[in-house]
Structure 1
């Protein structure tokens, strides 16, 4: 892997995950509106929202420095995590530097940054949202971690590039199919969309973790949430469904975008057609799925 490829693929990954995420958010808003027989906002409305919020006054509800810094940390962490996902080919830009454990650590930082932001705001609704987000985070992240470890056992390497290359070359086996199904079933919770948007429930806790945010901080958290949707969709499509790989990096990027668009559409259908779960229902679902996903590790150890 030469330096030119690393720089090129890094730029593509940042562009897709961070810069295209508001477009995908606008796409979901438009699809959701059509399902509900509304016109909906224009596709680029999310870009307008972020730009507008960046120019708004940054109200400070607390002097806690964590409240000021954590929103920016969430966006930076999403950008770093994107560099560990293969988009232009089978190998991610930072494959030489990071593995599945670094990826899990970085995406954990994203969730923790938002939890810290809410906890530092000293608002009771934000506290409730932060506690809900922590419980959801602890119940759903192990599912993705178990699936990635299953791939590592099969590939004999913790490097994401080696896992994807092995999966692409050898095809699915029972353990990887089970891991893929578990990740798909947990995807809505990883993204934080209905029925798992319990930490932000507007009708119950007035957006919870977001209630005290304004201006650039609010823009950064909204941007991080938009980017998280694209990031986890890429995790599923590029790691657990890595097929249709070509020699041309631009075509590979186009195929990745098509797969992500299809997955975002499915996620939007789920969001538009389902009610919000209670926190106990969401935890029961996630923990049951996490326990079931452990089977994939045992099967991988058996070579199945």
Structure 2
């Protein structure tokens, strides 16, 4: 008897399901709406000045999938995106074009995406992320909405030193630098790589210089040390570089100069780039920024 009742209930359920399916037709329209945007004058300019010559995407519209979801971030404004695009082209891409004699170097080795974020990315320890690079394929620049195009020093500190830094990572990952570089900085308490503790171990830039690092962040690892030397050198005047070496003192200066000699020869021998000439080009182009029209495409 129990089995008969069970079968009857199952049969009734099937009948009701059949009726329900017959009455509720599926809506042919998808609930997923693709976000679209109208092309802008900047899109056309980017195609001509980034995509065509370099095969680089300059992404200024906010995209969740390209953003670090651990931070509260805001989009870059259109006006700041225009300014940043023109500055990146003038100060970075064309600097390497000029020193190498063609667009091929950037086309072959530079990351294929530059992604802009309007707001800074703050860490819990109070530090701010200026830029990140992912597997040599993308550079993300933060705090674009705070950019002052008339302040060249700030442009370097927040953006262009970062771009040279991340690009140097790609170069040494493509062609490794000498392992002699790693041996210069010892493991003593006064001169050692300390990972992310660099901000605590070296409380000031002067302390890092005296320990043989061109910056506090250079104390993170040998790779960071290597690219900091290159990026800081090419974005600063000879007087600024000399001042840093003077602050480093006898011991710190000796270590920095020994490491820089390896970095200098590496760029010259592996990539045919003279860092003195590159710095000259970068500094000249920096001096041109105040007279540039950064708002008109």
TM-score by length of 1: 0.28
> Which structure features the higher share of helix residues?
1
TM-score by length of 2: 0.28
Q: Which has the higher contact order (CA 8 A, sep 6+)?
A: 1
Structure number with larger C-alpha Rg: 2
